[in-house]
Amino acid sequence: MKFWLKIFSYSIVVFILIFNATSLIVVERNHSKMLTREINNALSQNMNIHSSVDAIIPIVLIYDSDEYAENVLANIAKGFVGKVGDQGVYMTITNDKGKTIDNNTDFEMPLERSELEQLKEDEIKYILRDIGERTILFTANLVEINQKKYTFTYMKDISSVYRERADQYSFYLKVNIIACSAYMLLMFFVSKRLTIPIYRLNRTAQRIAAGGFSERAETMTKDEIGVLAHNFNVMASVVEDKITDLERLNREKQLFIDNFTHELKTPLTSIIGYANFLRTAKTDPSQLLEGLEVILSEGKRLESLSFKLMDLIMLEGTEFPLEELDFCAILAEIKPALELRASEKRMTLRLYCEHARLKLEKDLIKVLIFNFVDNSIKASTENQCITIRAFRQDGDYVLEIEDEGIGIASEHLDRIFEPFYMTDKARTRGNHGAGLGLSICNSIARLHHAAIGVRSQPNRGTTFSLTFGTGGGTR
């Protein structure tokens, strides 16, 4: 069952129950009040009769005649009934022997009179009886005259009270039908209107499930449905971001595999080709030496590629404990190796360091610095200078490696930290590179919650920076 139909059905059921219960309570309350009023009136009339009889008892006692007493009582009854002037009023008087002294009823009296059982003087009992199609209220009291007991029964037809209740039920039934019809029509539009946001939310969910991850639900209200739509949009945004990240990671993974395959293909082709040539062809010593040099060079390239791949895999899947170390002490330890590497290329290395203690993984920081310097050496020529600076800036600690080399074109700056990305493939391969050094540096920086930056101008040099502070990530 649809939600709008549930709202419609449940509200109709509740309305019918409440309306009918209210109608029943009102009708029964009115009926009870009217019936109570009629009973009180009948009891009051009976008391008046009793008072009238008490008033003439002294006169009746003077005559000391039963016949006279009965005539007087009959006259009182006729006079009282006539005084009331109501056709629905009846009265009977009987003595203790069962003789009827007066009776103006137009119906047959019931044989069983429970209201007369154990009736006492100065006591009035009443009972309701259905006589034919009428409802008669019987009230009875007992009077003793000349040591004889007379029973007065005052009766009143109160069928109108019950007809009034039936009329009210009939009226409320008609009102109920009209009200329910109007309420059903109103609730049909209200339930439809209330569930429009849910329908739109469901439609948006279906579109997102079909691949439209940029779809968002409309949030035009601030009620619970509006809050739900807002939370749904937040969830959809998170899902979209996650899916975008997964797609990006999948593309990067596929690109990594493609590049890795391509990087393996060239050296393996050279090694296999030269090995097969040396195995099958007759070669002189110079050709043999040339072939072996190629095989050795390509083998070293594969070795370098495998080591860097292992480093990259290790960095992505391992947590390294960081300890507080003196950064300048680490630079001092690695300085001889860096100077040796620079001197091999006839370059100058300068180092400036402002002391600071940072939370570091010593070996990884050495790898990062060496890769940055090695990258600068590969981009520079003889007699150029490479500068390493470590200093404080605006509460952060910054490491900079600056060279005077060929620089990096602006279109490459956003991608140089991707695995296997090379701005100059011929130069990189000539240095046995595979485009993994900066990617490794990026992973090490993330482990230290540091930010990598790069500034470069073609033919004027490049500056890599590593900022340790409250921020993190790569920029």
Cα end-to-end distance, the chain, whole Å: 54
Measured torsion, CA atoms of residues 80, 81, 85, 89, in degrees rounded to the nearest 10: 140
User: 429 or 277: which carries more pLDDT confidence?
Assistant: 277
- For residue 33, pLDDT over 90 is answered with yes
- For residue 422, pLDDT over 70 is answered with no
CA distance 224 to 231: 10
Of 199-208, 232-241, 306-315, the poorest mean pLDDT is in: 306-315
Of 16-30, 77-91, 435-449, the poorest mean pLDDT is in: 77-91
Long-range contacts of 267-273 (CB under 8 A, 24+ apart): 267/298, 267/299, 267/301, 267/302, 268/298, 268/302, 270/294, 270/295, 270/298, 271/295, 271/298, 271/299, 271/302
H or E, element range at 465: strand 461-468
What is 320-474's CATH number, 2.70.150.10, 3.30.565.10, 3.20.20.70, 3.30.9.10?
3.30.565.10
Structure token pair of residue 129: 């009886």
pLDDT at 210 (0 to 100)? 81
- For residue 151, pLDDT over 50 is answered with yes
Quick check: 454 and 416 in contact, CB under 8 A?
Answer: yes
Q: Above pLDDT 90, what percent of the chain?
A: 18
Predicted confidence band of residue 256 (pLDDT cuts 50, 70, 90): low
Predicted confidence band of residue 427 (pLDDT cuts 50, 70, 90): very low
User: 73 or 35: which carries more pLDDT confidence?
Assistant: 35
User: 390 or 413: which carries more pLDDT confidence?
Assistant: 390
- Sequence-distant (6+) residues with CB within 8 A of 420 are 255, 256, 259, 260, 262, 263, 434, 435, 436, 439
User: 90 or 411: which carries more pLDDT confidence?
Assistant: 90
For 169, the 3-state DSSP assignment is helix
Alpha carbon of 86 to those of 80, 126, 149, 152, 376: distances in Å?
11, 19, 28, 18, 125
Alpha carbon of 390 to those of 91, 331, 466: distances in Å?
123, 9, 9
- The angle formed by the CA atoms of residues 278, 281 and 283, to the nearest 5 degrees, is 75
Nearest to 117 by CA among 128, 127, 104: 127
Predicted confidence band of residue 259 (pLDDT cuts 50, 70, 90): low
Quick check: 417 and 428 in contact, CB under 8 A?
Answer: no
Predicted confidence band of residue 472 (pLDDT cuts 50, 70, 90): very low
CA distance 42 to 135: 14
Rg of the Cα trace of the chain? Answer: 56
Predicted confidence band of residue 36 (pLDDT cuts 50, 70, 90): very high
CATH C-level class of 3-166: alpha beta
Average pLDDT over residues 185-210: 82
- For residue 1, pLDDT over 90 is answered with no
Nearest to 437 by CA among 356, 349, 360, 372: 372
- For residue 426, pLDDT over 60 is answered with no
For 231, the 3-state DSSP assignment is helix
Measured torsion, CA atoms of residues 348, 354, 360, 363, in degrees rounded to the nearest 10: 20
Average pLDDT over residues 344-363: 89
For 448, the 3-state DSSP assignment is coil
Mean predicted lDDT score pLDDT of the chain: 80
The residue written with tokens 């009886």 in the block is: 129
Q: Above pLDDT 70, what percent of the chain?
A: 85
H or E, element range at 337: helix 327-344
CA distance 239 to 327: 41
- For residue 53, pLDDT over 90 is answered with no
H or E, element range at 221: none
pLDDT at 467 (0 to 100)? 93
For 223, the 3-state DSSP assignment is coil
User: 309 or 126: which carries more pLDDT confidence?
Assistant: 126
Structure token pair of residue 280: 């099958």
Quick check: 465 and 454 in contact, CB under 8 A?
Answer: yes
User: 410 or 59: which carries more pLDDT confidence?
Assistant: 410
For 402, the 3-state DSSP assignment is strand
pLDDT at 171 (0 to 100)? 92
- For residue 247, pLDDT over 60 is answered with yes
**pLDDT by residue (tens digit) across 367-403?**
888 888 888 888 888 889 999 999 998 889 999 999 9
Enter the DSSP assignment of 164: H
**pLDDT by residue (tens digit) across 60-91?**
666 666 677 777 777 777 777 766 556 788 88
- For residue 312, pLDDT over 70 is answered with no
Q: What number of H helices and E strands is found in the chain?
A: 10, 13
Quick check: 144 and 83 in contact, CB under 8 A?
Answer: no
pLDDT at 424 (0 to 100)? 52
- For residue 255, pLDDT over 60 is answered with yes
pLDDT at 350 (0 to 100)? 92
- For residue 439, pLDDT over 60 is answered with yes
- For residue 162, pLDDT over 60 is answered with yes
- For residue 473, pLDDT over 70 is answered with no
- For residue 430, pLDDT over 50 is answered with no
Q: What is the DSSP string of 239-291?
A: HHHHHHHHHHHHHHHHHHHHHHHHHHHHHHHHHHHHHHHHHHS---HHHHHHH
Structural domain spans, the chain: 3-166, 206-318, 320-474
